[in-house]
Structure 1
Amino acid sequence: MFIKKLIKNVMPIGLYILSNKIKYLIYQLRTSNGYKGKYNSFSDAINFNNKYIDGFKSEEYNKNILKKTKNIENNIKSLTPVVNINDFILSMEIILHISQGNKILDIGGSIGHHYLNIKSTINDLDFYKSSEPKYFIMENKNLLNSINSYFFNEKFIGITEHPIKADLVIMSSTLHYIEDWKSLIKTLIDLGTKKFVLSRVPVHSGNTFISFQVIEEGGFPCYFFNEKDIIDFFSENQFYLKKKWACPENHAVYFGPAKNDSKYGYGFIFQK
């Protein structure tokens, strides 16, 4: 695992992207998983693909979440360094805001994956010993029991189904699954959020459209964004683009419906 991550870290980005494309093409040839079609709405995408169950309720989705959680724990135990650009940027932002006593909301945060990455860094510091939750995970109902049982003794962790007031909001591989994402962001802004970190966002050069992602027996409607739509929306709400980076590990744009005019997913930091 460490050697694999090390190679990924030092490999020229063009070669790394090419290797990922080949790997993902082989994966698609062996499975029916992937991105299917272009639709006008989430409901159209669901109705056209009604043989699939809600992906967030599928066994495969929950297995993948638990598997990723276990991998993160193993990396922490073996002291494997974080070399994924998303995890590195998110970890730095989380540590910065926690050290300032700020509240963080991780939307679509699974079983606290980003928190687990930085837990060993902060658990000896005084601000970590606060009895008041500072790091909140907002997830769908199907994962709430797993999150509750996983962090039962963690006073620092809070769990919510709804938006709350937070200084920093994190959304990693999440924004494109939210149908009315603009309303959610506006609600968070009205609640007082000052910074948004979005990562692994499928971006392409054409107009924003909706597709349907299949994972085994389940599926999800999702967006392929034109990044201008995202940047313009935040600008209209007095947020400027502080940072943008490529996310070559995001396979969504390689062989999906936007494959002819895509490069990779992107990460964005928007600040008031």
Structure 2
Amino acid sequence: MPEDMTLPGNLVPTSPVTQPAEARDAVTVVLLRDGAPGLEAFLLRRVKGMAFAGGMTVFPGGGVDQRDADTSVAWAGPPPSWWAAAFGVDDALARAFVCAAVRETFEESGVLLAGPDPSSVVEDTSAFAAARQQLVDRELSLAQFLAGEGLVLRADLLRPWANWVTPYDEPRRYDTRFFVAALPTGQRADGETTEASDAAWQTPAAAIEDAQEGRRMLMPPTWRTLDEVGALGTVAAVMAAERSVEKIIPKLVRDGDVIRVVLS
């Protein structure tokens, strides 16, 4: 990672852990659009004081719910077996990852990667505001929501990107599958989630510059992913990129008052 990519020294315990915490399955979706200044990513600043990554700028995402593996979801695009091969897991877990990615994107940004049929996408998600809150509150599963509205999950609007695992030294750990997706025509990302203090579209270069100058804090996977998608320049290029997804587990090295991130 870049030399200026450091983390606060209080992020991890000062003493090495004897038994690493189990990494929970999670997903992250890099939502992209071609804006006036070029390729832009949708970013959320997590509320300070949150148990994990408080104050950090991240992409939409979260933990995988056991209900995300529901096989009744109407599905269009690459089958779970294709995603299983991409992420190196079984079909059931792959299905859960894709469903969680669609659900978390909708919950945290209001963007819904689904449509009335396998070849269309909803253009206005405001009619689903109540259901969105029910999803957040876990009163409704993704499968129930889609079935109730007669919608088909569009797995073809997502692409696998990476697999980052929280370093062993951290008390809360996640095994996170990264996806990329283009903002559907007609939809808008609003960032109306209690987990974020603000949300914005930014070019990868601007977001990284903000981090370098102290206006943002980026976690290593976010920094690295912004750098990767920014180098491709357009949504089409990102979505067409061939990716080999390998598990990445960074190491944290204490350097005075900060933590440096090392990729082995």
Same fold (TM over 0.5): no
1 or 2, which has the higher helix percentage?
A: 1
Superposition TM-score, scaled by structure 1 size: 0.23
Q: Which has the higher contact order (CA 8 A, sep 6+)?
A: 2
1 or 2, which has the higher strand percentage?
A: 2
